[in-house]
Structure 1
Amino acid sequence: MKLNPIKLDGVWTEGYALDYFTENSEYVGEDIFGYPEFNVTYSEIGKSLNELKYHKDYTKAVEISEEVVKFIVEEWKLKDKIDGIISVPPSKFRFIQPMFQVTKLVGEKLNKPISLDFFSKLTPEEIKNLPVEKKLDLFKNSIRKNRSLTKKGSILLIDDLYSTGVTLKTLCELLKEDSNVENIYVLVVAKSSKED
Protein backbone atom coordinates (compact mmCIF):
# COMPACT_ATOMS: atom_id res chain seq x y z
CA MET A 1 0.00 0.00 0.00
CA LYS A 2 1.26 3.47 -0.88
CA LEU A 3 1.37 5.79 2.13
CA ASN A 4 2.22 9.47 2.50
CA PRO A 5 3.02 9.92 6.21
CA ILE A 6 2.18 13.33 7.68
CA LYS A 7 4.00 14.62 10.75
CA LEU A 8 1.59 15.78 13.44
CA ASP A 9 2.82 18.48 15.79
CA GLY A 10 1.27 18.74 19.23
CA VAL A 11 1.75 18.26 22.97
CA TRP A 12 3.01 14.71 22.37
CA THR A 13 6.65 13.69 21.85
CA GLU A 14 6.17 12.80 18.18
CA GLY A 15 3.23 11.86 16.00
CA TYR A 16 2.22 10.81 12.50
CA ALA A 17 -0.82 10.15 10.36
CA LEU A 18 -0.20 7.51 7.71
CA ASP A 19 -1.94 9.57 4.98
CA TYR A 20 -4.93 11.80 4.32
CA PHE A 21 -8.34 10.13 4.60
CA THR A 22 -9.52 11.50 1.27
CA GLU A 23 -7.71 12.88 -1.76
CA ASN A 24 -10.72 14.66 -3.25
CA SER A 25 -14.38 15.26 -2.40
CA GLU A 26 -16.70 16.81 -4.97
CA TYR A 27 -20.30 17.83 -4.23
CA VAL A 28 -22.59 16.23 -6.82
CA GLY A 29 -26.03 17.24 -5.54
CA GLU A 30 -28.62 15.82 -3.17
CA ASP A 31 -30.20 12.42 -2.81
CA ILE A 32 -33.95 11.76 -2.80
CA PHE A 33 -34.15 12.81 0.87
CA GLY A 34 -32.27 16.07 0.40
CA TYR A 35 -28.97 14.86 1.88
CA PRO A 36 -25.82 16.10 0.14
CA GLU A 37 -23.98 13.58 -2.02
CA PHE A 38 -20.28 13.65 -2.79
CA ASN A 39 -18.02 11.89 -5.23
CA VAL A 40 -15.14 10.97 -2.91
CA THR A 41 -11.67 9.74 -3.84
CA TYR A 42 -9.97 8.09 -0.87
CA SER A 43 -6.29 7.52 -0.23
CA GLU A 44 -5.47 3.79 -0.13
CA ILE A 45 -5.40 3.66 3.69
CA GLY A 46 -8.42 6.00 3.79
CA LYS A 47 -10.43 3.57 1.65
CA SER A 48 -9.52 0.70 3.98
CA LEU A 49 -10.45 2.77 7.04
CA ASN A 50 -13.76 3.78 5.45
CA GLU A 51 -14.61 0.15 4.69
CA LEU A 52 -13.65 -0.91 8.24
CA LYS A 53 -15.52 1.84 10.11
CA TYR A 54 -18.56 2.52 7.99
CA HIS A 55 -19.12 -0.72 6.05
CA LYS A 56 -18.15 -3.24 8.76
CA ASP A 57 -15.50 -4.95 6.65
CA TYR A 58 -13.49 -6.22 9.62
CA THR A 59 -10.90 -7.87 7.36
CA LYS A 60 -9.60 -4.31 6.83
CA ALA A 61 -8.43 -4.25 10.47
CA VAL A 62 -5.75 -6.78 9.49
CA GLU A 63 -4.69 -4.74 6.45
CA ILE A 64 -4.54 -1.47 8.42
CA SER A 65 -2.66 -3.04 11.35
CA GLU A 66 -0.05 -4.46 8.95
CA GLU A 67 0.53 -0.97 7.51
CA VAL A 68 0.73 0.56 11.01
CA VAL A 69 3.28 -2.03 12.15
CA LYS A 70 5.34 -1.70 8.96
CA PHE A 71 5.48 2.09 9.41
CA ILE A 72 6.38 1.85 13.12
CA VAL A 73 9.14 -0.71 12.55
CA GLU A 74 10.63 0.24 9.18
CA GLU A 75 10.16 4.00 8.85
CA TRP A 76 9.51 5.49 12.27
CA LYS A 77 11.87 3.05 14.06
CA LEU A 78 9.67 3.36 17.15
CA LYS A 79 9.25 -0.25 18.27
CA ASP A 80 12.01 -0.21 20.90
CA LYS A 81 10.99 3.23 22.20
CA ILE A 82 7.49 2.26 23.35
CA ASP A 83 6.44 0.12 26.30
CA GLY A 84 2.69 -0.01 25.80
CA ILE A 85 -0.11 0.92 23.40
CA ILE A 86 -3.37 2.69 24.25
CA SER A 87 -6.37 2.87 21.95
CA VAL A 88 -8.16 6.23 21.87
CA PRO A 89 -11.72 5.75 23.20
CA PRO A 90 -14.34 5.56 20.45
CA SER A 91 -16.78 8.42 19.88
CA LYS A 92 -19.69 6.05 19.16
CA PHE A 93 -20.83 2.82 20.75
CA ARG A 94 -20.48 -0.16 18.42
CA PHE A 95 -20.69 -3.85 19.30
CA ILE A 96 -17.36 -4.30 17.51
CA GLN A 97 -15.06 -1.31 17.82
CA PRO A 98 -12.98 -1.12 14.61
CA MET A 99 -9.96 0.61 16.16
CA PHE A 100 -9.89 -1.83 19.09
CA GLN A 101 -9.43 -4.57 16.48
CA VAL A 102 -6.56 -2.63 14.89
CA THR A 103 -4.92 -1.89 18.27
CA LYS A 104 -5.11 -5.56 19.34
CA LEU A 105 -3.42 -6.69 16.13
CA VAL A 106 -0.71 -4.00 16.37
CA GLY A 107 0.00 -5.03 19.97
CA GLU A 108 0.28 -8.69 18.97
CA LYS A 109 2.58 -7.96 16.03
CA LEU A 110 4.85 -5.65 18.02
CA ASN A 111 4.68 -7.86 21.14
CA LYS A 112 3.61 -4.89 23.29
CA PRO A 113 0.91 -4.75 25.96
CA ILE A 114 -2.24 -2.84 25.01
CA SER A 115 -5.04 -1.12 26.89
CA LEU A 116 -8.46 -0.66 25.32
CA ASP A 117 -9.98 0.79 28.50
CA PHE A 118 -7.28 3.15 29.74
CA PHE A 119 -9.69 5.98 28.91
CA SER A 120 -13.46 5.96 28.56
CA LYS A 121 -16.04 8.46 27.42
CA LEU A 122 -18.45 9.67 30.05
CA THR A 123 -21.11 10.78 27.58
CA PRO A 124 -22.11 9.38 24.18
CA GLU A 125 -22.55 12.93 22.86
CA GLU A 126 -20.93 13.63 19.50
CA ILE A 127 -18.75 16.76 19.67
CA LYS A 128 -17.20 16.68 16.24
CA ASN A 129 -19.26 19.57 14.81
CA LEU A 130 -18.65 22.00 17.68
CA PRO A 131 -16.18 24.91 17.48
CA VAL A 132 -12.69 23.98 18.77
CA GLU A 133 -12.92 26.05 21.98
CA LYS A 134 -16.25 24.42 22.93
CA LYS A 135 -14.85 21.00 22.05
CA LEU A 136 -12.00 21.46 24.53
CA ASP A 137 -14.30 22.35 27.43
CA LEU A 138 -16.80 19.61 26.68
CA PHE A 139 -14.17 17.00 25.93
CA LYS A 140 -12.22 17.56 29.16
CA ASN A 141 -15.39 16.77 31.06
CA SER A 142 -16.39 13.82 28.90
CA ILE A 143 -13.25 11.64 29.20
CA ARG A 144 -12.18 9.67 32.23
CA LYS A 145 -8.74 8.16 32.81
CA ASN A 146 -9.43 4.71 34.27
CA ARG A 147 -5.90 3.50 34.88
CA SER A 148 -2.37 4.54 35.72
CA LEU A 149 0.91 2.96 34.66
CA THR A 150 2.35 0.59 37.25
CA LYS A 151 5.92 1.43 36.22
CA LYS A 152 7.80 3.93 34.07
CA GLY A 153 7.25 3.67 30.36
CA SER A 154 6.54 5.36 27.04
CA ILE A 155 3.14 5.12 25.40
CA LEU A 156 1.86 4.92 21.83
CA LEU A 157 -1.67 6.32 21.39
CA ILE A 158 -3.50 4.92 18.34
CA ASP A 159 -6.47 6.70 16.75
CA ASP A 160 -8.36 6.40 13.49
CA LEU A 161 -8.90 9.98 12.26
CA TYR A 162 -7.15 13.25 13.04
CA SER A 163 -9.14 16.42 12.55
CA THR A 164 -8.41 19.22 15.04
CA GLY A 165 -6.19 17.29 17.45
CA VAL A 166 -8.46 18.13 20.40
CA THR A 167 -8.97 14.48 21.38
CA LEU A 168 -5.26 13.63 21.36
CA LYS A 169 -4.31 16.87 23.15
CA THR A 170 -6.76 16.12 25.96
CA LEU A 171 -5.61 12.51 26.32
CA CYS A 172 -1.95 13.57 26.38
CA GLU A 173 -2.68 16.11 29.12
CA LEU A 174 -4.36 13.38 31.18
CA LEU A 175 -1.43 11.01 30.54
CA LYS A 176 1.10 13.66 31.61
CA GLU A 177 -0.56 13.75 35.05
CA ASP A 178 0.81 10.21 35.54
CA SER A 179 4.38 10.40 36.89
CA ASN A 180 5.21 7.01 35.30
CA VAL A 181 4.48 8.23 31.76
CA GLU A 182 7.70 9.15 29.99
CA ASN A 183 7.23 9.85 26.25
CA ILE A 184 3.90 9.91 24.43
CA TYR A 185 3.79 9.01 20.74
CA VAL A 186 0.75 9.36 18.52
CA LEU A 187 -0.13 7.28 15.43
CA VAL A 188 -3.28 8.12 13.49
CA VAL A 189 -4.45 6.04 10.53
CA ALA A 190 -5.55 9.09 8.51
CA LYS A 191 -5.74 12.87 8.68
CA SER A 192 -9.22 14.06 7.80
CA SER A 193 -8.31 16.57 5.10
CA LYS A 194 -5.54 18.70 3.65
CA GLU A 195 -7.26 21.85 4.93
CA ASP A 196 -7.03 20.85 8.61
Structure 2
Amino acid sequence: MKINPKTITGNWDKGFVLDKHSVSSTHVGTNEHGHPQYETLRTDVGEALYLLKYKLQWGNIVPLAIELSRGVKQSFGKIDFIVPMAASNVRPRQPVTELAVEVGKQLGRPVNAGFLLKSSTSPIKNLNTRQEKDAALAVAFSTNAAGVGPGPFDILLVDDLIHSGASLDAACTALRRSGKIGKIYVAVLTWR
Protein backbone atom coordinates (compact mmCIF):
# COMPACT_ATOMS: atom_id res chain seq x y z
CA MET A 1 0.00 0.00 0.00
CA LYS A 2 1.46 3.33 -1.06
CA ILE A 3 1.41 6.02 1.66
CA ASN A 4 2.40 9.68 1.86
CA PRO A 5 2.63 10.40 5.61
CA LYS A 6 2.75 13.84 7.14
CA THR A 7 3.00 15.26 10.64
CA ILE A 8 -0.16 16.73 12.17
CA THR A 9 -0.22 19.18 15.05
CA GLY A 10 -2.92 19.96 17.57
CA ASN A 11 -3.81 19.43 21.20
CA TRP A 12 -1.66 16.27 21.38
CA ASP A 13 2.03 15.61 21.85
CA LYS A 14 2.87 14.12 18.47
CA GLY A 15 0.86 12.87 15.51
CA PHE A 16 0.83 11.72 11.91
CA VAL A 17 -1.58 10.89 9.12
CA LEU A 18 -0.82 8.30 6.44
CA ASP A 19 -2.15 9.99 3.29
CA LYS A 20 -4.69 12.29 1.68
CA HIS A 21 -8.14 10.69 1.34
CA SER A 22 -9.11 11.74 -2.20
CA VAL A 23 -7.02 12.91 -5.14
CA SER A 24 -9.93 14.24 -7.21
CA SER A 25 -13.71 14.19 -7.44
CA THR A 26 -15.53 14.97 -10.70
CA HIS A 27 -19.26 15.61 -10.98
CA VAL A 28 -20.67 13.15 -13.55
CA GLY A 29 -24.38 13.95 -13.36
CA THR A 30 -27.37 13.19 -11.17
CA ASN A 31 -29.09 9.94 -10.34
CA GLU A 32 -32.79 9.12 -10.75
CA HIS A 33 -33.49 10.77 -7.36
CA GLY A 34 -31.84 14.04 -8.35
CA HIS A 35 -28.75 13.45 -6.19
CA PRO A 36 -25.40 14.54 -7.61
CA GLN A 37 -23.05 11.72 -8.60
CA TYR A 38 -19.26 11.91 -8.54
CA GLU A 39 -16.36 9.92 -9.86
CA THR A 40 -13.78 10.01 -7.10
CA LEU A 41 -10.14 9.03 -7.35
CA ARG A 42 -8.74 8.08 -3.94
CA THR A 43 -5.28 7.29 -2.62
CA ASP A 44 -4.54 3.66 -1.68
CA VAL A 45 -5.30 4.41 1.97
CA GLY A 46 -8.37 6.49 1.06
CA GLU A 47 -9.77 3.73 -1.14
CA ALA A 48 -9.15 1.05 1.50
CA LEU A 49 -10.88 3.22 4.12
CA TYR A 50 -13.81 4.00 1.82
CA LEU A 51 -14.30 0.31 1.03
CA LEU A 52 -14.10 -0.54 4.74
CA LYS A 53 -16.59 2.07 5.93
CA TYR A 54 -19.09 2.13 3.08
CA LYS A 55 -18.78 -1.27 1.40
CA LEU A 56 -18.04 -3.18 4.63
CA GLN A 57 -14.85 -4.75 3.31
CA TRP A 58 -13.56 -5.73 6.75
CA GLY A 59 -10.50 -7.41 5.24
CA ASN A 60 -9.05 -3.90 4.82
CA ILE A 61 -8.56 -3.60 8.60
CA VAL A 62 -5.32 -5.61 8.68
CA PRO A 63 -3.41 -3.79 5.89
CA LEU A 64 -4.49 -0.39 7.24
CA ALA A 65 -3.46 -1.40 10.78
CA ILE A 66 -0.09 -2.64 9.53
CA GLU A 67 0.64 0.76 7.96
CA LEU A 68 -0.48 2.64 11.10
CA SER A 69 1.61 0.33 13.30
CA ARG A 70 4.72 0.93 11.20
CA GLY A 71 4.26 4.67 11.58
CA VAL A 72 3.70 4.34 15.33
CA LYS A 73 6.89 2.30 15.77
CA GLN A 74 8.90 4.88 13.80
CA SER A 75 7.38 8.00 15.32
CA PHE A 76 6.35 7.55 18.95
CA GLY A 77 7.75 6.50 22.29
CA LYS A 78 6.25 4.24 24.93
CA ILE A 79 2.51 3.59 24.65
CA ASP A 80 0.60 2.21 27.64
CA PHE A 81 -2.67 1.63 25.81
CA ILE A 82 -4.56 2.47 22.65
CA VAL A 83 -7.80 4.45 22.47
CA PRO A 84 -10.03 4.51 19.36
CA MET A 85 -11.65 7.84 18.52
CA ALA A 86 -15.21 7.78 19.82
CA ALA A 87 -17.66 7.08 16.99
CA SER A 88 -19.92 9.74 15.50
CA ASN A 89 -22.39 7.23 14.05
CA VAL A 90 -23.83 4.13 15.70
CA ARG A 91 -22.97 1.03 13.67
CA PRO A 92 -23.13 -2.69 14.44
CA ARG A 93 -19.35 -2.79 13.88
CA GLN A 94 -17.22 0.30 14.41
CA PRO A 95 -14.40 0.54 11.84
CA VAL A 96 -12.15 2.76 13.98
CA THR A 97 -12.57 0.52 17.03
CA GLU A 98 -11.73 -2.57 15.00
CA LEU A 99 -8.78 -0.74 13.48
CA ALA A 100 -7.51 0.18 16.96
CA VAL A 101 -7.88 -3.44 18.11
CA GLU A 102 -5.79 -4.64 15.17
CA VAL A 103 -3.17 -1.93 15.79
CA GLY A 104 -3.09 -3.19 19.40
CA LYS A 105 -2.39 -6.72 18.13
CA GLN A 106 0.34 -5.45 15.81
CA LEU A 107 2.01 -3.47 18.63
CA GLY A 108 1.30 -5.85 21.49
CA ARG A 109 -0.52 -3.12 23.42
CA PRO A 110 -3.94 -3.21 25.10
CA VAL A 111 -6.90 -1.29 23.70
CA ASN A 112 -9.39 0.55 25.90
CA ALA A 113 -12.40 1.12 23.63
CA GLY A 114 -14.54 2.51 26.45
CA PHE A 115 -12.16 5.18 27.75
CA LEU A 116 -13.14 7.99 25.35
CA LEU A 117 -16.88 8.62 25.01
CA LYS A 118 -18.84 10.89 22.71
CA SER A 119 -22.16 12.01 24.14
CA SER A 120 -23.28 14.13 21.23
CA THR A 121 -23.89 12.59 17.85
CA SER A 122 -24.69 15.92 16.21
CA PRO A 123 -22.78 16.06 12.93
CA ILE A 124 -20.21 18.79 12.45
CA LYS A 125 -19.96 18.18 8.69
CA ASN A 126 -22.44 20.96 7.95
CA LEU A 127 -20.72 23.55 10.16
CA ASN A 128 -18.63 26.04 8.22
CA THR A 129 -16.05 27.51 10.58
CA ARG A 130 -13.59 26.04 13.04
CA GLN A 131 -15.21 28.19 15.75
CA GLU A 132 -18.62 26.61 15.07
CA LYS A 133 -17.09 23.13 15.20
CA ASP A 134 -15.20 23.90 18.43
CA ALA A 135 -18.37 25.18 20.10
CA ALA A 136 -20.36 22.10 19.03
CA LEU A 137 -17.65 19.72 20.25
CA ALA A 138 -16.74 21.50 23.52
CA VAL A 139 -18.92 19.21 25.65
CA ALA A 140 -19.27 16.25 23.29
CA PHE A 141 -16.39 14.17 24.69
CA SER A 142 -15.86 12.65 28.12
CA THR A 143 -13.89 9.78 29.60
CA ASN A 144 -14.67 6.65 31.58
CA ALA A 145 -11.60 5.97 33.70
CA ALA A 146 -13.17 3.18 35.76
CA GLY A 147 -10.61 0.45 36.36
CA VAL A 148 -7.82 2.30 34.56
CA GLY A 149 -5.48 2.95 37.48
CA PRO A 150 -3.86 6.17 38.66
CA GLY A 151 -1.70 6.94 35.61
CA PRO A 152 -0.36 8.99 34.06
CA PHE A 153 -0.57 6.82 30.94
CA ASP A 154 0.91 7.55 27.53
CA ILE A 155 -1.73 6.66 24.95
CA LEU A 156 -2.19 6.26 21.22
CA LEU A 157 -5.41 7.80 19.87
CA VAL A 158 -6.44 6.20 16.55
CA ASP A 159 -8.78 7.87 14.04
CA ASP A 160 -9.74 7.40 10.40
CA LEU A 161 -9.99 10.94 9.00
CA ILE A 162 -8.82 14.42 9.94
CA HIS A 163 -10.19 17.56 8.35
CA SER A 164 -9.95 20.64 10.55
CA GLY A 165 -8.69 18.76 13.61
CA ALA A 166 -11.58 20.05 15.74
CA SER A 167 -12.77 16.58 16.82
CA LEU A 168 -9.27 15.39 17.70
CA ASP A 169 -8.58 18.60 19.68
CA ALA A 170 -11.84 18.23 21.63
CA ALA A 171 -11.15 14.54 22.30
CA CYS A 172 -7.63 15.32 23.55
CA THR A 173 -8.99 18.04 25.83
CA ALA A 174 -11.35 15.49 27.41
CA LEU A 175 -8.56 12.92 27.70
CA ARG A 176 -6.31 15.44 29.50
CA ARG A 177 -9.18 16.46 31.83
CA SER A 178 -9.36 12.87 33.04
CA GLY A 179 -6.13 13.36 34.99
CA LYS A 180 -5.01 9.87 33.85
CA ILE A 181 -3.09 10.84 30.71
CA GLY A 182 0.56 11.69 30.21
CA LYS A 183 1.41 11.92 26.52
CA ILE A 184 -1.11 11.64 23.71
CA TYR A 185 0.08 10.31 20.37
CA VAL A 186 -2.29 10.48 17.41
CA ALA A 187 -2.29 8.18 14.35
CA VAL A 188 -4.82 8.88 11.57
CA LEU A 189 -5.43 7.12 8.27
CA THR A 190 -6.35 10.02 5.94
CA TRP A 191 -6.70 13.76 5.70
CA ARG A 192 -9.29 15.67 3.70
Q: Map Cα deviations across residues 47-95 of structure 1 (whole Å, 9 max, x no partner).
A: 100000011111111121111112222x32x2x4211110001110000
Do structure 1's residue 137 and structure 2's residue 135 form an aligned pair?
A: yes
Q: Distance in 2 between matches of 1:188 and 1:157?
A: 8
Q: Which amino acid aligns with 2:15?
A: G
Seq. identity, %: 29
> Aligned-pair distance for 1:144?
2.3
Output the aligned Cα RMSD: 1.5
Which amino acid counterpart does residue 80 of structure 2 have in structure 1?
A: D
| Per-residue deviation, residues 109-142 of structure 1 (Å, max 9, x unmatched) | 1111111111222233222211322221221222
1:81 maps to which of 66, 78, 81: 78
5 Å-filtered alignment, 1:52-131, equals: 52-73=52-73, 75-76=74-75, 78=76, 80-131=77-128
SS, match of residue 25 in structure 2: strand
Q: With structure 1 as the length reference, what TM-score do the two structures score? A: 0.90
The separation in 1 between residues aligned to 2:181 and 2:142, in whole angstroms, is 17
| Equivalent pairs, count | 189
SS at match of 1:81: coil
**Which segments of 5 or more consecutive residues in structure 2 lack a partner in the other structure?**
none
SS at match of 2:19: coil
CA distance in 1, matches of 2:13, 2:94: 27
Residues in 2 aligned to 1:179 and 1:119: alpha-carbon distance in whole angstroms = 13
Runs of 4+ in 1 over 3 A off after TM superposition: none
Task: Specify the SS of the correspondent of 2:114.
Answer: coil
> Aligned letter for 2:113?
L
1:191 aligned to 2:191?
Answer: yes
